[in-house]
Amino acid sequence: MRFLLVEDNEGLAKAVLDRLRLDGHVVDHAADISLAEDFSATADYDLILLDIMLPDGDGRNFLKAHRARKDETPVIVLTARSEVSDRVGVLDLGADDYLTKPFDFSELEARCRAVLRRRGGSASNVQRFGGLAFDSLAGTVSVSGETVTLRNRELRLLEIFMSSPDRIFSKAKLVDRLFAYDEDVSENAIEVYVGRLRKHLAGSEVEIATVRGLGYRMSLI
């Protein structure tokens, strides 16, 4: 998954970045609203973690503009305000959830998973496609009942394909979803990861096909 973290506290931001990246997620960090707007205008995110009190304004204004653009990307608000009226206010503005600072990182991870499950219309962490099962919580994959071991980037690539089976993903789109802005990579890296993932799926009823001139598509054989 690709997340956008909008947080000006350097210590907290680093801790959140380290935790989410350890889970294998791609995370871009914006310390103010202006940079957050630039990021959200040029990349597709699965989830936004949004602070309220930012150097150049109120995060709620970013949230309002985000929803006014009909952008349905889920937003979890991170706030030091514990009053009920404040929490109700951000939910009414379009936030999907909120977390009061200070928070436990395991709760942050759990709320991220819950919001993403709701977005996908699922009550479970396990996604299935043919004989393929991917558990996003445990980070495990099984093919026809047999467990296979994937590295973090391979897991996230599989997660992208499983989010939209039969959809064609261009190399550029996969680079956008798999790598943060501060990572210098070329589209050739996608060929490498797709090749590795194909080897893990060999012998299953699922294939990742090359669609000439367009990209890749995961489908049933």
Last residue of a domain, one of 104, 119, 134: 119
Q: What CATH number does the domain containing 193 carry?
A: 1.10.10.10
| Pair 114, 142 in one domain | no
CA distance 200 to 52: 43
Last residue of a domain, one of 70, 102, 119: 119
Mean pLDDT of the chain: 91
Residue 199 burial (10 A CB sphere; 0-12, 13-18, 19+): exposed
| Pair 115, 130 in one domain | no
The total number of structural domains in the chain stands at 2
Bond before 165 cis per omega within 30 degrees = no
Residue 206 structural domain = 126-220
Q: What CATH number does the domain containing 84 carry?
A: 3.40.50.2300
The string of pLDDT tens digits covering residues 90-141 is 999 999 999 999 999 999 999 998 898 887 666 567 888 888 888 877 788 9
**Per-position b or e across 26-35, b if 16+ CB within 10 A of its CB:** bbbbbbbbeb
| Pair 151, 198 in one domain | yes
| Pair 40, 91 in one domain | yes
pLDDT of residue 135: 87
CA distance 49 to 62: 12
| Pair 83, 172 in one domain | no
Last residue of a domain, one of 119, 144, 171: 119
3-class DSSP state for residue 204?
Answer: coil
CA distance 205 to 160: 18
One digit per residue, the tens of pLDDT, for the chain of length 221 reads 899 999 999 999 999 999 999 888 899 999 999 999 999 998 889 999 999 999 999 999 999 999 999 999 999 999 888 788 888 999 999 999 999 999 999 999 999 988 988 876 665 678 888 888 888 777 889 988 889 999 988 999 998 998 889 999 999 999 988 888 888 888 899 999 999 999 998 878 899 999 999 999 999 98
* Spatial CA neighbour of 50 closest among 77, 18, 85: 77
| Pair 29, 135 in one domain | no
| Pair 158, 101 in one domain | no
